[in-house]
A and B are shown apart, each in its own frame.
Chain A
Amino acid sequence: MNIIIVGLGKLGATMTKQLVKEGHSITVIDTNSEKIDSFVDAYDVMGVCGTGATCEVLEEAGAAKAKLIIATTGSDELNILCCLVAKRMGTESAISRVRNPDYAKQMQFMRSELGIDMVVNPEFETANEISRIIRFPSAANLDSFARGKVEIAHVRIHSDNILCDMPVHELRKKCKARVLVCAVQRDEEVFIPSGDFILRYDDIISVTGTRSELSVFMKQIGIYKQKIKNVMIIGGGRIAYYLATLLSDTGRNLKLIEQSEERCLKLTDLLPDATIIHGDGTDQDILDEQNLQSQDALVALTAIDEENIIVSMYAESKGINKVITKVNRHSYSILKDIGLETVVSPQIVAGNLVTRYVRALQNSAENSQIQTLYKLLGGKVEAVEFIVPKNAGYIDIPFKKLDLLPNLLIGCIIRNGKIIFPGGDDVMKANDSIIVVTANRIIEDLHDIFV
């Protein structure tokens, strides 16, 4: 698919990398020629230097024949203009990053009247992800499928855990919970476990199940964390604002520490329910003074990665139940080694959204459609939710008679709101939701899962 990406900032770069990996033909546009040169050298893309909203530049980038334009420059207005111009020139779909909350209210208008097919607000999506984690703190990270009916929780196995050295097939019996281990990360490698796979200390496992079953599972293996009541947020930027609004109606106590007095005053207007503190949230004295120890969760959202990491490490050392760290540069994989398990990054969150959209765009001609897609365990594993199309060849055939690819697993089937963990005798039926978990492979259609 021909895709044009405008702006090679952090988001544009992440998306380019992800979409190149999926095998699309990418043309990148940026005003900085050096940035383009280094990108063209390193990735299989073509570069055009110039302003992405001008016809001349878009023409050179092949907008007339492009299937999709993704505008990710720093300016909302420029992004919208890029999309408008490209669409007029013949590009089929447009995705724009729009960050200003003022515009966020008119998403529907932009979609229907301006023809921007998808508006991405990385900060809002990140806040959304964080709020989900806060609602279910036991897991390091959490993704939900089938409109929240099924979740995938990522859990690290500590040395005193009963899961240590346990084969996967014993897990359901021992834990008395209906859950399924669908992926295991050991060091840098990722496995899709079979029944006799033995779990080890320090593995990160991805478990699917309903939220209640997952809670049971967490309690059984002794890592259940108390419900989070008090949340401390460091940094009062956009993500903090969105997060506070998302959490405000859940009855949690929010304490937000922000350095700029002006911003604090604004936030008190915007967030009447939260406690706004004016001070340097990365200062240990202030954290202690604000009673960090009595908090259930700390969310580090300052603009500087290093500060977020240091604050999080301090909070971990104080034994805070749940510590969430926002990191912009997600390329470093050492964060989990220093004890930070829950790391979110706006680029990755937004990148996943766009990848999902692109996959769906690719499949729109066919019957089967990707509902949701998550990249798990650092992008090495994908969990994809499909709706089983009518009249497909594989319907009503028991799984034991179907030849599934190796390193692939059916996470679960959701039929009429009921969750089924399929065994060899189960079958797929039309309109079922199916969650497929794979490692190192790209699945675009349900057909692809068979040998």
Chain B
Amino acid sequence: MNYRMIFYNIGRFLLVESALLMIPAVMSLINNDGAFMAFVITIAALTLTGFVAAVKKPQNNNIYAKDGYVIVSMTWILMSLFGALPFVISGYIPSFTDAFFETVSGFTTTGSTILRDIEIIPKSLLFWRSFTHWIGGMGILVFVIAVMPKTESTSMHIMKAEVPGPTVGKLVSKLRASARILYGIYCVMTILQIIMLVIGGMPLFDSVVNSFATAGTGGFGILNNSIEGYNSLYSEMVIAVFMLLFGINFNLYYMMIIRHGKQALKSEELHWYLGIVTASVLIIAIALMTTDYTAGESFRYAFFQVASIITTTGFSTANFDLWPVICKIVLVLLMFVGACAGSTGGGIKVSRLILLIKGGRRDIRKAINPRSVETVKLDRVSVNEQIVRSVSVFFGMYMIVIAASALLLAIDGHDIVTTITAVIACVGNIGPGLAEVGPAGNFADFSVFSKLVLCFDMLAGRLELIPMLMLFSPYAWSRKYS
């Protein structure tokens, strides 16, 4: 492994984080909310570390797939460690584990919180908390590729590890141009949402922060009862629609921009995604109508909650923990499904689900007629057998990670629903689970050990397992296999 190149790259990414921290630092200075020194100390620490690591470009600048994975996972861990400092130093989240959990939850766009009372936190810290969603949504490394003047041709390894989905394609031949297009679309959509929310009468700061949380499909609210607190149908609908939009593969937006809109609308993944959303909304709405809700309210809450969960955002407008069991089951299943590949959402991803189902159907047909030759097709094109296989393996590993984490969390002695949904919500980067970690609860009551396990789950889920699991593999560190 090329350690010097790994240090160099991580150093550069930390420098970018320190630059991004300037924004909340300036806010803090203007508002004079007492968190300014916390930001300054963090920025100083980041700049120093980053500078030491990146001061000299190594002679041998070859990085291969393995180095790319290590760079990505280590960068995410280190950025979360440093990103937690402002919360700890300012004293608003005194425990470092809690602050780390909160920051990991931010960068991975999970949105699970350990804060019992969000509203006492100063605005600059709340901004940073939501800003991590926005940065983490599209990926910090992709951001760096887009803005840094010269990227090595081998950066593809890095992009591959960070962009979600079974396969990663570039939009245009240059990686940097691709990253810029992605961020361009991302920025434009975020700004659009901010404007729409401001028009609806939401204060500017809240609009910005909520848009960041929507864009990254994160879900940190800045009111104790999330979006419910605004009590505005218009804002809810704007946020719900934008959540769904950010859950769509960004490549499709690019295709629309270059006037291949028809082709984009034919995307099989998009059809499945919209189909799943519609079906889920219908089921939940009908189930809700049997309770105290009116028909209008049922659809309003069902639509918002389905959009929030399938895109793995995790905003809430109602305490769905109190809904009928059928609704809760649908929502938990949606937690597994997740958004489209190439979006900012988490979960298993719709395209993987399609490949799993089609792969299963193919195998059943093959069992019936062993001589038949069939390939799994997506968008009318045969999918490489290697990818189909890796999707099954991904699904298996996803389940194993959930099972193992649930086992570790069980030590704490919470009830079974809390334990399992907490893990699912973290691995899928959703945010709230059910029972104690439901929309009305939070993750504060878990032990330090459980919180660290959940941090790992969040990072593993965001980086799609392999990069994080690799850190624990002896093969990765052994010279014998390098």
Contacts and interface: CB of A to CB of B under 8 A. Distances in A.
Interface of A: 2, 20-21, 25-27, 33, 40-46
A46 B156 CA distance: 11
Contacts of A46: 170, 172-173
A44 B156 contact: yes
A41 B153 contact: no
Nearest to A43: B153
Contacts of A33: 384
- Main SS class of interface, B: helix
Given A25-B172, A41-B65, A46-B172, A20 B177 contact: no
A42 B175 CA distance: 12
Contacts of A42: 153-154, 156
Interface string B154-174: 111100100000000010111
Contacts of A20: 153
B148 to A, nearest CB: 13
B177 A25 contact: yes
Interface string B260-289: 000000000000000000000000000000
A72 to B, nearest CB: 17
A33 B151 CA distance: 25
Contacts of B151: 44
Contacts of B384: 33
A27 B173 contact: yes
Contacts of B176: 44
12 contacts: A25-B177, A27-B173, A41-B65, A41-B160, A43-B153, A44-B153, A44-B155, A44-B156, A44-B174, A44-B176, A46-B172, A46-B173
B139 to A, nearest CB: 17
A278 B112 CA distance: 80
Nearest to B176: A44
A44 B157 contact: no
Interface in B168-188: 170, 172-177
A45 B154 contact: no
A44 to B, nearest CB: 4
Contacts of B173: 2, 25-27, 44-46
B386 to A, nearest CB: 9
Contacts of B65: 41
A26 B173 CA distance: 6
Contacts of B157: 41
Given A27-B173, A43-B156, A44-B151, 7 more contacts: A25-B177, A33-B384, A43-B153, A44-B153, A44-B175, A45-B173, A46-B170
Contacts of A43: 153, 156
Nearest to B152: A44
Nearest to B153: A44
Contacts of B170: 40, 46
B160, B172, B174, B175 pick with most chain A CB within 10 angstroms:
B174
Chain B residues touching A, range: 10 to 19
Nearest to A20: B153
Interface in B307-365: none
A26 B172 CA distance: 9
A43 B154 CA distance: 6
A123 B65 CA distance: 36
Most interface-central of A21, A27, A41, A43 (chain B CB within 10 A)? A41
A40 B177 CA distance: 15
B344 to A, nearest CB: 23
Contacts of B174: 25, 44
Nearest to A189: B59
Best-buried of B153, B154, B176 by chain A (most CB within 10 Å): B153
B214 to A, nearest CB: 31
A45 B173 CA distance: 5
A267 B160 CA distance: 53
A2 B172 CA distance: 10
A21 to B, nearest CB: 8
A431 B461 CA distance: 64
Contacts of B160: 41
B255 to A, nearest CB: 12
Interface string B131-151: 000000000000000000001
A45 B176 CA distance: 11
A26 B175 CA distance: 11
The 4 closest A-B pairs by CB, nearest first: A46-B173, A44-B153, A25-B173, A44-B175
A193 B467 CA distance: 46
A41 B157 CA distance: 7
A43 B170 CA distance: 12
A40 B153 CA distance: 10
A21 B155 CA distance: 14
Nearest to A188: B59
Contacts of B177: 25
A20 B172 CA distance: 14
B163 to A, nearest CB: 14
Nearest to A21: B153
A20 B177 CA distance: 14
B425 to A, nearest CB: 33
Nearest to A40: B156
A33 B169 CA distance: 14
A144 B154 CA distance: 35
Contacts of B156: 40-44
A21 B152 CA distance: 10
A322 to B, nearest CB: 34
A210 B63 CA distance: 44
Nearest to B171: A46
Nearest to B64: A42
A141 to B, nearest CB: 25
Nearest to A28: B173
A67 B406 CA distance: 56
A25 B172 CA distance: 8
Nearest to A41: B156
A144 B86 CA distance: 63
A136 to B, nearest CB: 35
A20 B156 CA distance: 14
A27 B174 CA distance: 9
The interface centre, meaning the residue of A21, A41, A44, A45 with most chain B CB atoms within 10 A of its CB, is A44
Contacts of A44: 151, 153, 155-156, 173-176
B75 to A, nearest CB: 20
Nearest to A42: B154
